[in-house]
Amino acid sequence: GENVEQHPSTLSVQEGDSAVIKCTYSDSASNYFPWYKQELGKRPQLIIDIRSNVGEKKDQRIAVTLNKTAKHFSLHITETQPEDSAVYFCAASRRGNNRLAFGKGNQVVVIP
């Protein structure tokens, strides 16, 4: 089955700087790549997703890039703010597989 890995496990950034989290996946047939944010004590919530027919997607300060050849995708957060502090999970799935495989999560800490 699909195996998704995230690096680094913890990332500390100064407020205003950029943060980048990278995920790798194993199944070359995967075609859907969401990112979820989980604040402390809360449920995971989707922040951005990308499908394999595009290479980049942006939503305000958040962007996701996909490299299908290398089988990795990355989350980019610009101008980080304290409210960006959370655990971020990447995931991958392919249509018809009925499964969404999550990475183990990245703790992002934004230092004021």
Partner 1 sequence: EAQVTQNPRYLITVTGKKLTVTCSQNMNHEYMSWYRQDPGLGLRQIYYSMNVEVTDKGDVPEGYKVSRKEKRNFPLILESPSPNQTSLYFCASSLSDNYEQYFGPGTRLTVT
Closest approach of Cβ 34 to partner 1, in Å?
Answer: 7
Closest approach of Cβ 15 to partner 1, in Å?
Answer: 27
User: Between the CA atoms of 48, 90, 13 and 40, what dihedral angle is there, to the nearest 10 degrees?
Assistant: 90
How many CB atoms are located within 10 Å of the residue 53 CB?
8
Does 46 engage in binding with partner 1 (CB under 8 A)? yes
Does 103 engage in binding with partner 1 (CB under 8 A)? yes
Does 22 engage in binding with partner 1 (CB under 8 A)? no
Does 27 engage in binding with partner 1 (CB under 8 A)? no
Closest approach of Cβ 43 to partner 1, in Å?
Answer: 4
Contact positions vs partner 1 (CB under 8 A) = 1, 31-32, 34, 43-46, 49, 89, 93-105
